[in-house]
């Protein structure tokens, strides 16, 4: 049987970066390389699995116990974030980690420092998997993919393991907010589901941000700089002015816990025209709506100052806080908490400072909290994951299934 480490290392070799500027589904065809591979592997394990036209892998394992046991699904996304390259990933494996800084050997002088990432010290003695500093690692969410596949492998090779109906889902494009846009919840046919897409070992989340994107086009007026007085409107300066209108204390680097933010993710342009893009986040729906209103007010101010049509705003909601959909089914949270504890891990129930496919699925009638996958520092070259955390996550999946089968 393949070990979870070997499986994870294979999966991260497949470049699956998604592209928010693409209109296709999936947004990049290279995601299909891993999705097809997973379908073949599931079939090879004796699992009924198929890849649909939209890039969703769905699989089902029938119950081997009597009684009315609800179908439980486990879901992970295959794509990696556009923030950093996921091509030609060179993983570093540090066995029996001693608590020192970890050089990322692909970039001279670059280190994963305990002074900057003290979470490392909680994993002394474990096997740490990092990048070499030239790419992201892909633990978000190929760790989750590997954990689900590891649990499936165990189930299919241990017929004595008792479980109800199992559903497996692998999705594209989660990182660009389109992970389950065309996911067929009815066809998936689960009563409850869990995404394996959290961070540090022990995390269990059923609250997430309400999320929106804001894209603003600035139309300037370019004339010869020698004769520009009273005529030139520099779109770059206007973009900077608009950004300065937003509350500086509500930026990601100054917020935590339940605090929301405005996050400037790109600015590009020239004197003639510029484009700026933000993501807007808040756990409170009321504060979320206020943040969107503030963004509109800033655009309106720019137009009142420089003329109508100077700034054009496109504001789109992306997903909402799943708590209101999951909390009425709190039993699935209690089952997960016990499953984590039974795996020898202290459960850490906390809000997600982000979002998951589970948020949108919960609003479509499939309550879907989020369980740790074990990785940290997602979306960049400092990403890392302990092997032991992945092993614990796989055990949690089995514990949840056993609990449902036992009538928990």
Active-site residue set: 79, 174
**Whether residue 174 is found in the same domain as residue 240:** no
How far is residue 5's CA from residue 150's CA, in Å, rounded to a whole number? 10
Instruction: Specify the pLDDT at position 112.
Output: 97
**Whether residue 98 is found in the same domain as residue 184:** yes
> With contact defined as beta carbons under 8 Å apart, do 376 and 199 qualify?
yes
**Whether residue 341 is found in the same domain as residue 193:** yes
**Whether residue 282 is found in the same domain as residue 187:** no
Domain count of the fold of the chain: 2
Closest CA to 148 of 76, 224, 221, 55: 76
How far is residue 368's CA from residue 389's CA, in Å, rounded to a whole number? 21
pLDDT digits (tens, 9 = 90+) for 26-38: 999 999 999 999 9
**Whether residue 215 is found in the same domain as residue 107:** no
Instruction: Specify the pLDDT at position 362.
Output: 95
Instruction: Specify the pLDDT at position 66.
Output: 87
How far is residue 69's CA from residue 190's CA, in Å, rounded to a whole number? 11
The CATH code of the domain that includes 81 is: 3.40.630.10
Instruction: Specify the pLDDT at position 84.
Output: 93
Helices (H), 71-216: 139-157, 185-188
The pTM (predicted TM-score) of the whole model is 0.87
How far is residue 297's CA from residue 309's CA, in Å, rounded to a whole number? 14
**Whether residue 302 is found in the same domain as residue 344:** no
Label residues 194-210 b or e (16+ Cβ within 10 Å = b): bbbbbbbbbbbbbbbbb
**Whether residue 238 is found in the same domain as residue 368:** no
> Which residue ranges in the chain fall short of pLDDT 70?
1, 408
How far is residue 338's CA from residue 355's CA, in Å, rounded to a whole number? 24
Instruction: Specify the pLDDT at position 353.
Output: 87
Distance set, CA 164 to CA 155, 274, 335 (Å)? 11, 55, 14
Instruction: Specify the pLDDT at position 352.
Output: 86
The residue segments making up the domain with residue 224 are 210-319
Instruction: Specify the pLDDT at position 2.
Output: 82
How far is residue 213's CA from residue 361's CA, in Å, rounded to a whole number? 19
**Whether residue 220 is found in the same domain as residue 148:** no
**Whether residue 350 is found in the same domain as residue 308:** no
Instruction: Specify the pLDDT at position 177.
Output: 83
Closest CA to 130 of 377, 342, 391, 356: 377
């Amino acid at each position: 049987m393949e070990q979870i480490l070997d499986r994870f290392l294979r999966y991260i070799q497949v470049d699956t970066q998604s592209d928010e500027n693409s209109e296709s589904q999936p947004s990049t065809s290279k995601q299909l390389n891993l999705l097809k591979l997973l379908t073949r592997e599931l079939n090879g394990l004796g699992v009924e699995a198929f890849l649909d036209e939209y890039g969703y892998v769905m699989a089902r394992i029938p119950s081997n116990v009597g009684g009315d046991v609800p179908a439980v699904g486990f879901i992970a996304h295959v794509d990696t974030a556009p923030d950093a390259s996921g091509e030609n990933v060179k993983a570093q494996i540090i066995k029996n980690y001693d608590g020192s800084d970890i050089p990322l050997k692909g970039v001279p002088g670059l280190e994963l420092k305990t002074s900057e990432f003290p979470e490392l010290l909680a994993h002394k003695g474990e096997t740490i998997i990092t990048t070499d500093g030239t790419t992201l690692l892909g633990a978000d969410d190929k760790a989750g993919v590997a954990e689900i596949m590891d649990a499936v492998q165990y189930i299919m090779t241990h017929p004595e393991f008792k479980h109800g109906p199992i559903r497996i889902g692998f999705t594209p494009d989660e990182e660009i907010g389109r992970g389950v846009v065309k996911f067929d919840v009815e066809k998936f046919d689960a009563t409850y589901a869990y995404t394996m897409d959290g961070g540090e070992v022990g995390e269990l989340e059923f609250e997430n941000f309400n999320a929106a994107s804001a894209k603003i086009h600035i139309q300037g007026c370019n004339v010869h700089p020698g004769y520009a007085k009273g005529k030139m409107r520099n779109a770059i300066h206007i973009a900077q002015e608009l950004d300065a209108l937003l509350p500086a204390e509500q930026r990601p680097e100054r917020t935590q816990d339940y605090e929301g933010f405005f996050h400037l993710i790109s600015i590009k342009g020239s004197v003639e025209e510029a484009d700026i893009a933000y993501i807007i986040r808040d756990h409170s729906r009321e504060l979320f709506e206020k943040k969107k209103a503030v963004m509109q007010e800033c655009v309106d101010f720019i137009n009142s100052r420089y003329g109508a049509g100077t700034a054009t705003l496109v504001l789109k909601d992306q997903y909402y806080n799943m708590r209101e959909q999951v909390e009425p089914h709190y039993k699935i949270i209690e089952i997960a908490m016990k499953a984590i504890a039974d795996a020898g891990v202290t459960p850490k129930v906390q809000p997600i400072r982000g979002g998951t496919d589970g948020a949108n699925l919960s609003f479509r009638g499939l309550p879907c909290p989020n369980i740790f996958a074990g990785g940290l520092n997602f979306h960049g070259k400092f990403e890392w994951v302990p092997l032991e955390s992945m092993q614990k996550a796989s055990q949690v999946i089995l514990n949840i299934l056993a609990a449902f089968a036992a009538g928990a």
